[in-house]
Structure 1
Amino acid sequence: MPKVQKPATKSRGRGPIEKPTSSKNATVPKKSTMTKKPSTAKKPDAALVDSSDSDSDDSIQGGEHPPNYLFHCAMTCSDDPTITRVLSIPSNFTFAKVHEVMQVAFGWAFCHMYTFEVSGLPGTGLDEHPCVLSIQERVEDFMEVVPEIADRARDAGKLKLSDVFENDEYRGKVYIFYEYDMGDSWGHHITFLVQQGNVPGRRVKRLNVADISFAAKGHPCAEDCGGAGGWEDLKELFAKPRMRDEDDRRQWYKEYCANGDPKGLNPYSWSILDVNQELEAVKM
């Protein structure tokens, strides 16, 4: 079992592009040097869909505000349980802002770089290419490293959700893949479900979350735990308290992991209310 790396302290500002790293020789940080750093990043005005809306039968017509898009988001590397969220995100959010939404919704700590890839759904004609658009945090640096897709590279701070999902070239034909931390490589599939809210010229009924079985599921993965394998090992350690823990990973998660919990790890424990409060606390 790979040992655990020291929690990353990379910022979301300028700096070199993050390269994948191996956890084979990683060691648990010494107690004197390990500090838990709470995130101070601003969080956007978006929300997880909550079953408290299930009794409403609202219909909205016209209006000043752009519509929200409803997305089903699922991590690709976690089982028992799977980790999923249903997110309602304003259509005028840039992908940089969507990154912030994903960080809050999935309990990440803004420690690493990220990328979005827009890919074609099967049978749409766009699926002939693995990546239709590559949306980067720092697109100029990325094009220097991967010049062959320069024509498909876009700036996450400039491209909006509506630029994709209201574009006839992509509408109904694509899904989004969000990757966070190029070392541990946490992947998230983002699937467009429906447009909500104000749509000029027609009435749109609010989607009732009671009709969706995957509203939210699964505790956030641990930052810098070594990827999918490290996450499964960590869950097993907490599920079996008597299991030998040579690398003190339980202590690392409770005291030093950037998004750890001093109470320990329950992979099924998660609060939709707490996350919604965080998402709604800051306006765009």
Structure 2
Amino acid sequence: MPRQIFQLRISLTGVRPTVWRRVLVPAGYTLDRLHRVVQHAMGWRDCHLHSFEIDGLQYGEPDPDGELALHDELDVRLDAVLGKGSRFQYTYDFGDWWEHDLVVEDAVTADPEERYPACLDGERACPPEDVGGPAGYQALLVALADPEHPEHWAMRDWVGDHFDPAAFDAGRVGTLLRRFC
């Protein structure tokens, strides 16, 4: 039986302009592998906790203290809980609370010449880790855009000269996905 591939659109919620990615992932991946895909596709560094919410159920790494009621993401294949048209959420960093809206845009047969996962498209750079969630990121963007802003130089020093909020390189993301996912 040919391998099924899901085309996913991942959008960071609460951020304008929108930061998004379109990726192809094997439908047989488990949620823990999808977590790695989201991390590399978006540009996160996997420094914080995360969870998925699919049809009202929470999935993630089981909490050894039992405080978070999460189903083990290692036990759940995408094709067992998702199909074309499915919409679900991924939350990263429970302090900054980055919510991602994921949609299964299509389900296709794998191309034997293609390597998966793959990044098809996207826009804008991922916010820096620990910036303070969507509100902190918006404040960063405002400060960076105005050299007269009182926080401009402090924010520029903190984020570094290399950070360009408009930058996105699908080829680089594709290489990271193939290497680490």
2:30 corresponds to: 94
CA separation of 1:68/1:139 partners in 2, compared to 1, >3 Å: closer, same or farther? farther
CA separation of 1:192/1:93 partners in 2, compared to 1, >3 Å: closer, same or farther? same
1:123 corresponds to: none
Matched, 1:277 2:175: yes
Contact 1:104 1:275 in 2 (8 A): yes
Distance 2:22 2:157 in 1: 32
Matched, 1:109 2:42: no
Indicate which of 89, 93, 97 corresponds to 1:185.
97
Contact 2:19 2:125 in 1 (8 A): yes
Contact 1:238 1:266 in 2 (8 A): no
Contact 1:114 1:181 in 2 (8 A): yes
Deviation string, structure 1 residues 85-133 (Cα, Å, up to 9, x no partner): 11111111111111110011110011101000013xxxxxxxxxxx1x2
Contact 2:15 2:134 in 1 (8 A): yes
Distance 2:73 2:63 in 1: 8
Distance 2:167 2:85 in 1: 34
TM-score by length of 1: 0.56
1:78 corresponds to: 15
Instruction: Return 5+ residue gaps in structure 2 as ranges.
Output: 111-119
Instruction: Return 5+ residue gaps in structure 1 as ranges.
Output: 1-61, 120-130, 166-170, 199-213, 255-261
Which amino acid in 2 is paired with 1:158?
D
Which amino acid in 2 is paired with 1:227?
G
Structure in which a larger fraction of residues adopt strand: 2
1:145 corresponds to: 67
Distance 1:174 1:82 in 2: 20
1:228 corresponds to: 134
Matched, 1:118 2:16: no
Contact 1:185 1:227 in 2 (8 A): yes
- How many residue pairs were aligned? 174
CA separation of 1:194/1:173 partners in 2, compared to 1, >3 Å: closer, same or farther? closer
Contact 2:32 2:74 in 1 (8 A): yes
Distance 1:175 1:181 in 2: 20
Alignment RMSD (CA, Å): 2.4
1:251 corresponds to: 157
Indicate which of 63, 69, 86 corresponds to 2:6.
69
Q: Displacement of 1:174 after TM fit?
A: 4.1
Which amino acid in 1 is paired with 2:167?
S
Q: Displacement of 1:234 after TM fit?
A: 0.8
Distance 2:72 2:20 in 1: 26
CA separation of 1:159/1:139 partners in 2, compared to 1, >3 Å: closer, same or farther? farther
Q: Looking at CA atoms only, which structure, 1 or 2, has the larger radius of gyration?
A: 1
Distance 2:106 2:152 in 1: 48
Distance 2:64 2:4 in 1: 31
Contact 2:84 2:106 in 1 (8 A): no
Q: Secondary structure at the match of 2:99?
A: strand
Alignment of 1:252-267 (within 5 A): 252-254=158-160, 262-263=161-162, 265-267=163-165
The alignment-based identity, stated in percent, is: 25
CA separation of 1:173/1:192 partners in 2, compared to 1, >3 Å: closer, same or farther? closer
Q: Secondary structure at the match of 1:145?
A: coil
